[in-house]
Structure 1
């Protein structure tokens, strides 16, 4: 499959000391032959040309490689912590840090071998590295719909800059049972860029709208009282699970999260840290 040309990355947007830390970390991982992929603002700049300052460097790794990465970091005198065991670790050099991502915050997209296929290559801060595929980047951004952060514009820009190069069948497969989220973003893309709706394959829109029509024609769902909104926002649907008795979508088989993961991730919400008296979401989910 052809790939879009990669735009320059973010050398000018990173402070020199921070860039030196990132550069050293990237070279250590390359030399140690530990699989990783650059994501976040660096990858987004490569795929879209949108340059913006970033507070960190996002690296996608497999969970089973974390201990090796942590050992390398500690040998350099840096700190390494498994911040949220279900999806995120961090490496610190003073105030600077690197995010090591091995799942999504909602537990839907664990990083596995499929992420490391046919990745584009780019120089990031002068280090030749592999970049997370645009499809995986789009998938990870599609579910970020917090009150304080919504990545829908990033999704639209990824499509606008790469529509002819995206693996659309692979993207549909990645979304799997969450195809309504993909349809929502594609519908918004057609609204945002009305003159470019044709760049999304017609077969894909036909497939998704046919699924929607078929599902809408079915009798009321016999599914349990589930709120999947928590897969989109860890905070904005807590009322549904805490007060209205909905089953948390993160505790259904679509997610890898456990009750402890949900509780810890909920406690990390900034508003909860400011007011510890706020309730933590009650446990309860569906058996796999």
Structure 2
């Protein structure tokens, strides 16, 4: 038994094993992420007391119905990205997007999934590229996933599908560029994990932007809310910036943003 499962009591471990069996019987495909996928891709093991299951949004309700039929309590905790299934004190997260609405789980997650094993059950694990994409935006005061991004690049950088990763970030490429520049600071001897053409392409984009005029006042947007649901509230509440999470810039509705913001107090 590895460190990932070392903190699990037998009852909780049995819950997760049974849950994986139920999900396999349910039919729709799923991936396991979190500490299990990080161990696979980066070789880092750390305690976990939860199980992150990634699914397509369209498969959420069938999955929840299958879990309910098996005796679990379920809820669409944050309908824009996450649901949960409970049994006593144990639970799993069913994830189909990200809290900021950016990293939607789509067919490519499954097409590039890795083989793995969780508590003796063969499973598919989230791809390293999609893990980097989703983790790169997690920059809260109480949680910053930059170290996970760096560890994934250190372990997988030479074999990553960099074209796909660049496409994932799209017009949010500055977030990836920032992590890549920081990687070279963290690991001076491992800078060749990142192909030179990737940094040159992103540096060229930056150079092009420097030649452009800043957007006019009506386009005043704060993208910080994609990095932290809490730390940039003054920007949109006091200083008049538009919230980049909201449609049509982002994918979230005002109701989803309000629900996600209200949960800050409990850090759910």
Alignment TM-score, normalising by the size of structure 1:
0.89
SS in 1 for 2:27: coil
Query: Would you say the 8 A contact 1:108–1:254 is kept in 2?
Result: no
Q: Deviations over 1:169-212 (max 9, x none)?
A: 11000000100000000011001001111220000000000000
Structure 2 gap ranges (5+): none
Query: Would you say the 8 A contact 1:141–1:155 is kept in 2?
Result: yes
Are 1:161 and 2:147 an aligned pair? Answer: no
SS in 2 for 1:190: helix
Structure 1 gap ranges (5+): 1-7, 274-288
Name which of structure 1's ranges 105-114 and 257-266 shifts more when overlaid on structure 2.
105-114
- Partner residue, 1:188: 182
Distance 1:272 1:66, change over 3 A: closer
Aligned pairs (5 A) from 1:150-229: 150-222=144-216, 224-229=219-224
SS in 1 for 2:199: helix
- Partner residue, 2:232: 237
Query: Would you say the 8 A contact 1:10–1:125 is kept in 2?
Result: no
Partners of 1:132 and 1:253 in 2: how far apart? 28
Cα RMSD over matched residues? 1.6
- Partner residue, 1:276: none
Q: Specify which of 50, 57, 60 is matched with residue 51 of structure 2.
A: 57
Name which of structure 1's ranges 138-147 and 245-254 shifts more when overlaid on structure 2.
245-254
- Partner residue, 1:250: 245
How far 1:271 sits from its partner (Å)?
6.9
How far 1:254 sits from its partner (Å)?
4.4
- Partner residue, 1:260: 255
- Partner residue, 2:31: 37
Name which of structure 1's ranges 42-51 and 84-93 shifts more when overlaid on structure 2.
42-51
SS in 1 for 2:141: coil
Partners of 2:167 and 2:241 in 1: how far apart? 28
Are 1:118 and 2:112 an aligned pair? Answer: yes
Alignment TM-score, normalising by the size of structure 2:
0.95
Partners of 1:79 and 1:213 in 2: how far apart? 52
Are 1:142 and 2:168 an aligned pair? Answer: no
Q: Deviations over 1:201-253 (max 9, x none)?
A: 00000000000010011112236110000000000000000011110111143
SS in 1 for 2:219: coil
Structure 1 runs (4+) greater than 4 angstroms displaced: none
Partners of 1:229 and 1:11 in 2: how far apart? 35
Partners of 2:255 and 2:170 in 1: how far apart? 26
Distance 1:167 1:158, change over 3 A: same
Q: Which structure shows the higher helix fraction?
A: 2
Partners of 2:189 and 2:44 in 1: how far apart? 21
